Structure 1
Amino acid sequence: MARVAPTTGSKILYLLCLIIGSLLLYIDINYKSFEGVKNNYKSALITLSYLAKSLTIDPFVYMYELSKLKSTLIDENKKLKRELDESYLSNFIISRETKFFSDSSSIEKLLDFYNLDKVFHLSEIKYFDTEKYFCCDQHRLFIQLVIPSKKNFTGSPVFNSSGIVGQVIYDTGIKEVMLLSDSTHSLPVFSDDYFCNASGTGSPGLISCSYSSLIWPKPIFEGQKFFSSGMGGIYPRNVYIGPAKNIKKIDDVNIKFDIVLATDPLKENNLAILENQ
């Protein structure tokens, strides 16, 4: 195939491009005229390279590192949880042991204060329906001896470190305790020369008494202290029960008032059952 010979115009154009290129190269070498352009070009290449890496490689690297970090954090969280659980368990055991000895000691001090030379058996609350305690008139809780005993404690008084809580009404291993505030409970109390069988009100922390001013002319006043009388043979005598409150006249001669119980069955988990014999 025949080749086309370059024309005179083509030769002149080629020669002109060669001269211009040489001139530009000479100017660049001697005067650095195109240094900025080259720098911009290099900068553009670097930027494009960075963007390409950021959009293609870096996301995969980030996901990989994130998965490693997540795995590490999960392992650390598991370790911390184990340590925290061990700490909780240790603190729980320590607090339970401390509470056990503290409550036993405080109950002993209470019995010594009232000169009650009676054997007592430490127990702990196994079940207490607090909803029924606050809403209804039947106030019961269930306790179990810390150290098992073959004795039957039906009828025995139950104390906490503040005083009388109630009495055992059923003993079938787990003992059912009727609280003083139970509406079917009755507690003989006295203050000075006044005596009364205080009845449970069915309201938490309250029992009530009524009397006739014809029999007891001396009025009862707010805050007057009442104690167990010991009548009936269930509860020991002279144990502080609580102060009088809400004194109301029913009619011209009959007066009714409440006694705020000094004991709160919600505050302590450990109780003591006193032997009656």
Structure 2
Amino acid sequence: MNIGKEKYDAIPIPAELDAVITASMRRAERAGRLRSLRRFAASAAAVVCVLFACANIMPIYTYAAQIPILGSIVQVLQIGSGGELTDSAQGKVEDRGEGVLLSFEGASGELSAAPHYSVTRFSAPNRLELTLSGVRKIDFDALFKSLLGTEAVRDAYRMMVLDDSSYGIVIVLNEGWSCEITEYSDPGALMLNFIESAPSGEDEVYYLRSEAMTYTDELGLLCEEYHAEAATQLRTLSGEYIVTIGQYATRAEAEEALAALNEMHGESGFFVASGAPGDTPEN
């Protein structure tokens, strides 16, 4: 007789054991299905991530490919000067939508720094004067086409400069626009960005001006004569040019400046004129 078997058979079995076993089996089955579902969900999420990344890589790459590759920013300004002394540099023009890029080359290729330049702002009319030194050649047709193709620029032209290694460029802006110049190095370049801004709100601005003249050496000589007074050139609506000096808030200040100018230089031929930021003299 197997006494151990008899004792095993004599162990009482609870009536609810079958129900407990059945419930446990069902839980195990559900857990298995849940693990499979989680694995599927994780795989699906991974696929979605890959597809999302792939969908965005090309637009980002395409956008990045359109960004101009420039060097290091040296400074950003609206008035002032910068660059380095160069000789016989050549300027190249690139249209950048609402901006224009000037890059520079020498005999051995790209310059590491922009040539020396200065930027001066005037209010009547709203304009800036950009001068470049140590530059022998620029494609002015391309430059003026790019400038006049922007919404900001109303007129653009060369100043009469008698130094063959310097250029002066006048950019007349529409009211409510300004120009910000970014200087780059390695390679040297100047980026002219036109920015829409609130109108200046200025009323009449007074200045000293010459009689109108044609675009000849006389214009450049008169500007050189009054170089210490920061004389500049302005093209009139009739197509002639005048030399202007100063900006004054009142006529009295302008009259005082004119008296001082005549005392220093003798009878100069200048007289007081005025205009608003959107006004260009008729002649």
TM-score range, shorter chain: 0.3 to 0.5
Q: Select the structure that is richer in strand.
A: 2
Instruction: Select the structure of larger CA radius of gyration.
Output: 1
TM-score between the two structures when normalised by the length of structure 1: 0.32
